[in-house]
Structure 1
Amino acid sequence: MTKELVSKALAGICAVYSLSAAELPGPSQAAVDAAIAAPLISFNRSFSGGAHTNGAFFGGASIALAVAAHGGNTSADGRLLEQIRWTLTAGKEPTANGGYPAQHERHATGMFVIVKNTPRIWNQLTATEKTRIDLIMKATLVANAFTTSDNNPYVKANTQEYALDGDDNLNRDWNPNYREGMIGGVLTGMAYFGTANAKTILADYNHASFVAELNANDLPNIYETFNWKTANPTSKAPSGSTIEAAVDSYKYYGNSLDSYLKIYEALLKDTYGQKVNAGLNDGAGIGGAGKIVSGADTLPNKGVTGMLKEFDSSDANGKRSSFIYAFDGYRPHMTNQLSLIVAGYWDPSSTTAILAVSRMNIGNTDLWYKAEKGYIGYAKGKAQALVDYPSYGGSRGFAYNRSLWDDVLKPFHGLPGGSEPPPDPPAFSGGARIEITAATNVRAEASANAPLVSNAADGAFGSIMSGPTSADGIEWWQVYFDNGATGWIDGADFAGAPASEYMATTGAAWLNKAIAAQTGTFTISFNMRPSATNIDAFTGLSSTSASAFGGVAAVVRFAPTGVVDARNGGSYQAANELPYQAGVVYKVQMTINVAARTYSATVTPPGSAAVVIANNYAFRSEQASATSLANIAAYAQVGSHVTSAIVLQGGGMPPSAPTGLRVIERP
């Protein structure tokens, strides 16, 4: 079928399919159950990363619960009401600065729009609770109207733009994770209050009286934002009068709120405006990143416009192709559209709606296909972690965020297919330790005809990077071997490594393995693989089994700052900066002088030179009198990591195996 016929068919579907908001289907029960199990989302500027929330990863559960309740699924009611009241708790409400955090605030503001149009839930809220919701919605409307208004003084002057708290990490024309949050914040505010009321709120906005109202109603996060200029007069935050002038007679690229569908269409065309492809550089990627892992040959709709922008975009470091960022455009866009539908502002016969159905069907099909096949992103000049169902499905809420399309919007728009359960998880997830059971060829690509990289002997160990992908009648897996080789191997030639071969931290539990006591100078090497960036996880040496930080003398750590560091006496330091990436296996080598209570350490990323992290660092202060080291300890305070391929080399002695761990000799 030609693209023209597809468009005409979709137009016909949309023209005759006119479900009302009351008939909006709900997510699958499995999705609702996953949303109920998800953590409650909170907001506060104290959360790291600039998102002002703990829900940057798992966000979306609140929307799934609200849509489920709207559709009559009462199993969602209890958790939904709990989330609503949690959000209304002082200090947990959105910060409403009108910038980068707005994308994540949609998990609250969109929830409020849907709940307001769900009498069974709305009628259970007290008058005080409804007043607090009104104030939160007014704050986010005003803040996002200010940062996106044609009359914004920074926009008019084409200079650095600032949020209400002086934050400069924003621009109304940046990538969809900004636009969908900021401009979508205006649309959800309009959907909540109604067009006429929203216009009146902006036209009559009085900053001083609103700040006083926020303070009187104990909304400290929003009060801090809206009072920022008064509390910090030298900051770049806009004054109250500047905000008032910018939001009065609000327009976005010449469109007032009366033309809200044109504003929505501008978002749609930007977020879903690229042609479907398998990755950067015609699917070749950059250094193996910025591309789909498998299934490029069967990628649906290749070359058709509708792919999410962040699969083919750019940032300050050049080209960008990222599932993570694409997903951050997908989530708020789903909620922005749901808000318009539930509030009665969606006209399925409009050219905007017809275009939206066509573009989103292309883009969302592409998004979830790439999640199933695996996608290695490229952003900010470097590779990102592999994204697939085993690695990201749980932490990113794939179950409920996908169901909002498959089970809610897709049938609402009359598209065929409906719910498509996620594929069965592969036998091995990213990072899983494996052991070669039959000598095998290691190839550059998943093909029997691909160039030979090396040979893996029976008994060799490695870590799964991605897979499986089928080609030439073989199920291929990409493996990083402990000898440094990387390539694709036949899935029939390996099995899962025994648990005694590695140490995998989880749940803040200490892991310990005894080694032969070392009293002189010795070298130990091992691999470390972080589960994510910005975790807090380490592997180190101690005198005895460790159960507290003070018991570990020499430590190499994946730090919360996103770099690798080591302990030097009373603090963590790094001789050289080495940012680490999720899912990448790093080789660590430590040379330790027990008598001097000092050590040095290098960390080697795959395919790169060793980086010195510690150079004659002192043992941890609490271990300044240690006389021997006889234990390997691993611990993760945030996140998790895997330690493997441990080799102990004493002074002038051959490699010896730590008790319970298998040593892998390197060539």
Structure 2
Amino acid sequence: MPPAVLEKALTYSAPYWEFRPNKRSHHLNHTFGFYTLCLEAYLEQKQGSTPEPWLVEAVTSRLRSVLAGGSEPECQGGLGGWSHGAFAWSLGYIRNTPAVWDALSAEEQGKANLLMQALAVAASFTLDDDNDYRTLLDGCRNYGKRWNPNHVEGYVAAGMAAAWYFGVDDLNDRLVNFDFDTFVEQLREAGFTNIVGSWTHTPATRQALMHGGVYKGEDAAAKYGKGAGVHGNTFTYLGLSLDQDWEIYKKLASRMYSHTARTEIPVTNKEGLYTHILTKGDDGHFLISPYDGRYGMCYEFETTNAVKNDSPFRSSLSYVYEGWMNNMATAAAVRARGHWNPEGKEGRELMGAIYVGSEDFLYKAKYGYWGFANGEAKIVTLADLTDKPRGWPFVLAWWESMIKPVVTPAGSALEE
């Protein structure tokens, strides 16, 4: 990671969360900064160097703050994955960086295991192929496992990271033998009040985790969904074992970067309205993305709303970022582990799509974007991403340092 980005990460204290029913707490600068430090330590050790003492201390001190309890991830699935996915990858880096892992006490390692398992339970409940619950572990119904990437990718990451952390066989053993009452008692003893509050907020959660079936009973099937639960059930995602990093990431990326790029898109049911870049060129017309007409534009630049209104159309720079930040955290982890494997024509096409989609997004962010979501215009400028606590400098560094060098199609970069 660039030195300036590491310095920026050090300005933020440990990541933290707070449980509030039907709400998601995110402090993305803290979480993404922590991820960046953990990634750096992992890469240094993997490349044959022992991480510097200051880096080991920075990672372990922040992790100890989370392990103290009361500020840990709520582990409920869905939009919580914005920060929980990156944190799960951070735990994976730590577990596989001996200089950091060995600096923790046996008690701290045990609490880290408990926390990672809780993240995996939430991922299994909300995403496993045998589950189709339309609720999170706190009972919130703002979720569907086929919804847009920002709802899904964070907890796919949690499942993948847990399989790396424990090993996929050990992880599945932990899920098959999961016992709600025993595990919640362990969480209480560890002081993990956010998870306990989340998992016990709605009594139906215990029944669903342990026995599957319909959440809140048969008469609620249409609203809450049903599944096999977690106890007794191994975890697969889209037919894949969770240790198939590259195959899972390919599916995520194929969805994320899935449109032919367009800058000016007519707004459905709104005659005369169209999306556009806010900045005008020398000719007095709004700028057009230089990637128009090329395949790979991000999913959320041309999709629909979950909320019904007089126009179902959605094209949103901020929604794109919320998916892209999760995608970049997973992409960087897959590459850091040495599992990046874009073989053949399909792989080359995917690399081109990732490049086009990411650079098209960054161009629109640089010059501002007039979008449309939930029935109204949504104007987003670069300042909305950079000046708010959304982890922008860290995500940009993951793209520029880890992913862009391996996806730029030969000869396709724009002339400067």
Give the TM interval when normalised to the shorter protein: 0.7 to 0.9
Contact 2:370 2:378 in 1 (8 A): yes
Specify the alignment match of 1:144 in structure 2. 123
CA distance in 2 between counterparts of 1:170 and 1:407 reads 33
Specify the alignment match of 1:367 in structure 2. 361
CA distance in 2 between counterparts of 1:212 and 1:286 reads 58
Give the alignment of 1:388-427 within 5 angstroms.
Answer: 388=382, 390-395=383-388, 396-411=390-405
Contact 1:307 1:359 in 2 (8 A): yes
- What's the secondary structure of 1:246's corresponding residue? coil
CA distance in 1 between counterparts of 2:360 and 2:106 reads 44
Specify the alignment match of 1:302 in structure 2. 292
Q: Which amino acid aligns with 2:314?
A: R
- What's the secondary structure of 1:411's corresponding residue? helix
Give the alignment of 1:221-300 within 5 angstroms.
Answer: 221-229=194-202, 232=203, 238-242=208-212, 245-247=228-230, 248-257=233-242, 259-281=244-266, 290-294=275-279, 297=287, 299-300=289-290
Contact 2:85 2:326 in 1 (8 A): yes
Question: Are residues 1:87 and 2:71 paired?
Answer: no
Question: Are residues 1:185 and 2:158 paired?
Answer: yes
Specify the alignment match of 2:219 in structure 1. none
- What's the secondary structure of 1:128's corresponding residue? helix
Q: Deviations over 1:436-473 (max 9, x none)?
A: xxxxxxxxxxxxxxxxxxxxxxxxxxxxxxxxxxxxxx
CA distance in 1 between counterparts of 2:407 and 2:207 reads 42
More strand by share: 1
Specify the alignment match of 2:87 in structure 1. 108
Specify the alignment match of 1:37 in structure 2. 11
- What's the secondary structure of 2:20's corresponding residue? coil
Q: Which amino acid aligns with 2:252?
A: L
1:323, distance to aligned residue in structure 2 (A):
1.3
- What's the secondary structure of 2:157's corresponding residue? helix
1:178, distance to aligned residue in structure 2 (A):
0.8
Contact 1:378 1:384 in 2 (8 A): yes
Query: Which one of 311, 314, 318 corresponds to residue 304 of structure 2?
Result: 314
Query: Which one of 34, 40, 50 corresponds to residue 62 of structure 1?
Result: 34
Give the alignment of 1:579-590 within 5 angstroms.
Answer: none
Change (3 A) 1:136 1:302: same
Change (3 A) 1:133 1:338: farther
Contact 2:28 2:391 in 1 (8 A): no
Give the alignment of 1:117-128 within 5 angstroms.
Answer: 117-128=96-107
Contact 1:199 1:257 in 2 (8 A): no
Question: Are residues 1:323 and 2:317 paired?
Answer: yes
Q: Deviations over 1:552-602 (max 9, x none)?
A: xxxxxxxxxxxxxxxxxxxxxxxxxxxxxxxxxxxxxxxxxxxxxxxxxxx
Contact 1:191 1:339 in 2 (8 A): no
CA distance in 2 between counterparts of 1:36 and 1:288 reads 44
Question: Are residues 1:378 and 2:396 paired?
Answer: no
Q: Choose 34-43 or 319-328, whichever is displaced more.
A: 34-43
Contact 1:114 1:343 in 2 (8 A): no
CA distance in 2 between counterparts of 1:192 and 1:268 reads 23
- What's the secondary structure of 2:82's corresponding residue? helix
Give the alignment of 1:458-477 within 5 angstroms.
Answer: none
Any gaps of 5 or more consecutive residues in structure 1?
Answer: 1-26, 418-667
CA distance in 2 between counterparts of 1:338 and 1:408 reads 6
Query: Which one of 316, 327, 342 corresponds to residue 333 of structure 1?
Result: 327
Contact 2:163 2:242 in 1 (8 A): yes
More helix by share: 2
Change (3 A) 1:210 1:41: same
CA distance in 1 between counterparts of 2:326 and 2:71 reads 20
Contact 2:138 2:198 in 1 (8 A): yes
The answer to which structure, 1 or 2, has the higher relative contact order (CA under 8 A, 6+ apart) is 2
Change (3 A) 1:218 1:306: same
- What's the secondary structure of 1:101's corresponding residue? helix
Q: Which amino acid aligns with 1:272?
A: Y
TM-score (norm 2): 0.80
Any gaps of 5 or more consecutive residues in structure 2?
Answer: 45-50, 214-226, 412-416
- What's the secondary structure of 1:165's corresponding residue? coil
CA distance in 2 between counterparts of 1:33 and 1:188 reads 26
- What's the secondary structure of 1:302's corresponding residue? coil
CA distance in 1 between counterparts of 2:271 and 2:63 reads 44
- What's the secondary structure of 2:377's corresponding residue? strand
TM-score (norm 1): 0.52
Change (3 A) 1:401 1:261: closer
Change (3 A) 1:236 1:109: closer
Specify the alignment match of 1:426 in structure 2. none
CA distance in 2 between counterparts of 1:60 and 1:261 reads 22
Specify the alignment match of 1:174 in structure 2. 147
CA distance in 2 between counterparts of 1:380 and 1:184 reads 28
1:402, distance to aligned residue in structure 2 (A):
0.6
Q: Which amino acid aligns with 2:210?
A: G
1:415, distance to aligned residue in structure 2 (A):
6.9
1:414, distance to aligned residue in structure 2 (A):
7.6
Give the alignment of 1:436-455 within 5 angstroms.
Answer: none
Give the alignment of 1:63-78 within 5 angstroms.
Answer: 63-72=35-44, 74=52, 76-78=55-57
Between the aligned residues of both structures, percent identity stands at 25
CA distance in 1 between counterparts of 2:274 and 2:39 reads 36
Q: Which amino acid aligns with 2:200?
A: N
1:348, distance to aligned residue in structure 2 (A):
4.9
CA distance in 2 between counterparts of 1:142 and 1:191 reads 15
CA distance in 1 between counterparts of 2:407 and 2:239 reads 29
CA distance in 2 between counterparts of 1:352 and 1:126 reads 46
Specify the alignment match of 1:212 in structure 2. 185
Contact 1:36 1:79 in 2 (8 A): yes
- What's the secondary structure of 1:378's corresponding residue? strand
Contact 1:60 1:331 in 2 (8 A): no
Q: CA RMSD in A?
A: 3.2
Contact 2:24 2:80 in 1 (8 A): yes
